[in-house]
Amino acid sequence: MSLPAPVAEEFVEGNFLGLPEQGGSPDIVILQVPYELTTSYGQGTELGPSACIEASGQVELFDPLLGEDLPAGYKIKTAEPWNGEGGNLRKQLDGISKYLVPWFDGHKFPVILGGEHGILPAIINAAGGHPLVNGDFSQLTLVQIDAHADLRQELNGEPFSHACAASRAMDFGLKHLYQVGIRAFSKNEYERIQSDDDVTTFFASDIHSSSNSSWGRWIETLASIEGPVHLTIDIDGLDGSLVPATGTPVPGGLTFWQIIETIQELFSASKATVISMDVNEIVPQKDTPLTQFTAAMIATKGIIHHIDNRRNGKWADTSEDNDIQNNHVFDKNYFEKL
């Protein structure tokens, strides 16, 4: 007598990993921000999130860390994408924050798919409503994987260009910025990196140095981070050969496994809590799904490590302490008024 064939889980088109919707409040939410206004020359970041969702259908649901298939007993929701509302760039950034803020309630883990990196300040603004931040941005650490420092004050007169994403994020008064993979920056950005005590940068050239690699120091640095953390992953932090379709691919970047190790070390840092992550600058590749598939793999790894944190009691639900409606008043027109 043969065993009955396993019943295939329903695959849902348009959902991350094809996972069917489960009822109740989600533990993890996939948020799509198809935003593109200022990307320098690649076109198509506005198509990136949906391409990443589609490519995620090919990602393995099994990971040895969890020992079972995703969702591994947790609820992963793919939310409706941001609808693009806002008549100009600043109103759009306010619209993105408004779209994101309900998911930063301390119960859910938001995984944001972009869209150009210019969405970062809108994400940080929304993260201010997370109970662990509660409007005090000096509690929040930003970890950035990127080819570019994104520390310009403006690009072509636009302070909210994707090339200024980290600068605009730091304007909130964040605790610290840690960057890795950086290999494209201006003189002004380099000088800021050298002089700003709130910015620590691990250049790709040092990471890849055969005589004195700084990779070990990067891993130690991640382990030392304390408090709430947002992880922003510009897909161009990876070597350009892995993500040729991204807006501005740059050679000499991180390997796939260096990104994975960064995620692993950050999520397991004993005194840090990763409250949210984004994977941005995804551009659908036409001849092969490599770029969007790589982004989907990385987002999935973040989810796996988040679930592992929940299982190990390293991630506490703080939604009971949620003061979004109390202490921290979210300003719906924050960027418009700047």
Residues 202 and 222: their CA atoms lie apart, in Å, by 12
In the bound state with Mn ion, the residue whose beta carbon lies nearer, of 184 and 269, is 184
As a whole number of Å, the CA-based R_g of the chain is 19
Residues 6 or more apart whose CB falls under 8 angstroms from that of 59 comprise 17, 293, 296, 297, 300
Give the H or E element holding residue 179.
strand 176-182
Residue (146 or 239) nearer to Mn ion, CB: 146
Minimum distance, C-beta of residue 189 to Mn ion, in the bound complex (Å): 12
Rounded CA-CA distance 335/63 in Å is: 40
**Cα dihedral value 184, 201, 139, 39, nearest 10:** 10
Q: Which of 46, 116, 146, 308 binds Mn ion (CB under 5 A)?
A: 146
Identify whether the C-beta of residue 315 lies closer than 8 Å to the C-beta of residue 74: no
Of residues 112 through 141, those in contact with Mn ion by CB under 5 A are 117
Closer by beta carbon to Mn ion, 46 or else 234: 234
Among 150, 239, 265, 278, binds Mn ion (CB under 5 A): 150
User: Applying CB under 5 A, does 63 fall inside the site for Mn ion?
Assistant: no
Minimum Å gap between C-beta 323 and Mn ion is 31
CB neighbour burial string for 37-47, b if at least 16 within 10 angstroms, e if fewer:
bbbeebebbbb
How far apart are CB 303 and Mn ion at their closest, in Å? 22
Select 36 or 234, whichever has its Cβ closest to Mn ion.
234
Q: How far is the CB of 162 from Mn ion (least distance, A)?
A: 6
Q: How far apart are the C-alpha atoms of 338 and 319, rounded to whole Å?
A: 30
Q: Which is nearer to Mn ion, 139 or 153 (CB)?
A: 153
Contacts of Mn ion in 86-105 (CB under 5 A): none
Q: Among residues 189, 234, 239, 265, which is the contact residue for Mn ion, using CB under 5 A? A: 234
- Closer of 27 and 146 to Mn ion (Cβ): 146
Q: Are 331 and 122 in contact (CB under 8 A)?
A: no
Q: Closest distance between Mn ion and the C-beta of residue 202, in Å?
A: 15
Residues lying near Mn ion in the complex (CB under 5 A): 117, 146, 148, 150, 234
